[in-house]
Every structure is written in structure tokens, then in C-alpha cells.
Amino acid sequence: MKIEEVIGANVAFLREDRGMSQAQLGEALGSYLGKPWSRQAVSAAEKGRRAFTAAELVSLALALGTSLPGLLLPMEEIPEEDGLLPGEVSVTQEQYERTLFEHGETSGSPAIRTLALDRVKNLIDAYEEVIGLTTKIRGAARASKVLLEGAEQTLREEDRGEHQEAS
């Protein structure tokens, strides 16, 4: 997986997580870059089919409400045989990640804490979405139960009425 594919996967994930369409992200980028991206340009970026300028990376981070490491770090382990960079020298994922954080500082660095907070916020948002859906499902189940009980009551009353007429 190349670095452009990593960035693209992160852009797609963050855009969907924020509830944005590709066209909306393209418009948001226009606020920072002076010219919006087309939906097709966003699609190509998400598929890792284009390189990014520094200005585009900063604009993507701002538009998606994340950090640069949030765009640059792979969400999954990258196999060692998959080179992140196009050159002949192989760069491991560990080496690559260390370059993102001030000369390989430890887990206490501000960049790592920011990335961790971004990921925790995404988890909290997903949890809240699940809770919201659960609440809606429970409400729908209660409403269905009330409707079912009402229908059963109506059928019993109709049965009694027919039963009384027959007697």
C-alpha cells in the first residue's frame, strides 16, 4: 500500500464519518485552496490515485477536522513487502510512523496524543450513533407492541360481537 492509498483511505473514512459527500468535501477544500475540488478529484484522492501537495494535505486535515498524522497514519498494519514510498529503499511502517512524530519521540508527544484523541473521538461518535439507533429501535418496538396489542383487542371485541350476534 502506497502512502497515497493510506491518505486516500483515511480521507474516505473521515469524510464518511463526518457525514459529508464527496462534493461537499470538494467544496470545503475550495475554502482553503481557493478553488474547489470536483467530486471526481475527491474520488481519485480517496482511491490513492493522486499525489498531494503540502497545501492540499493541510486543507484536507482542516476540512475533515483532523491532524496531519490523522491523514498520514495507516489505519491497519502495512505488510513489510508493501512499500509505503516509491523508492528502492524499503521503509518499514515503524520507521514511517516515527518520522511523523518529532524525531521518534515517545507516546507522550503532543502529536501522538492528538492522534489518539482523534481516534477516541471517532470511537465515541460511533458509540453514540449506535446508542441513538438502539433508542430508535426500542421506540419502534414499543410502538409496534402498542399497535399489536390494539389490533388484538379489536379482534377480541369483534369476535365477542360476532359471538353475541350468533347467540
| pLDDT cut 90: percent of the chain above it | 35
The domains of the chain are located at 3-100, 107-167
pLDDT digits (tens, 9 = 90+) for 41-80: 999 999 999 999 999 999 999 999 988 888 888 877 776 6
Provide the phi-psi class of 87: left if phi over 0, else alpha when psi is between -120 and 50, else beta.
Answer: beta
DSSP state of 50: S
Residue 19: predicted pLDDT: 94
C-alpha pair distances (Å), 123 with each of 39, 49, 68, 113: 27, 28, 19, 15
φ/ψ (deg, to 5) at 160: -65, -40
CATH homologous superfamily, domain 3-100 = lambda repressor-like DNA-binding domains (1.10.260.40)
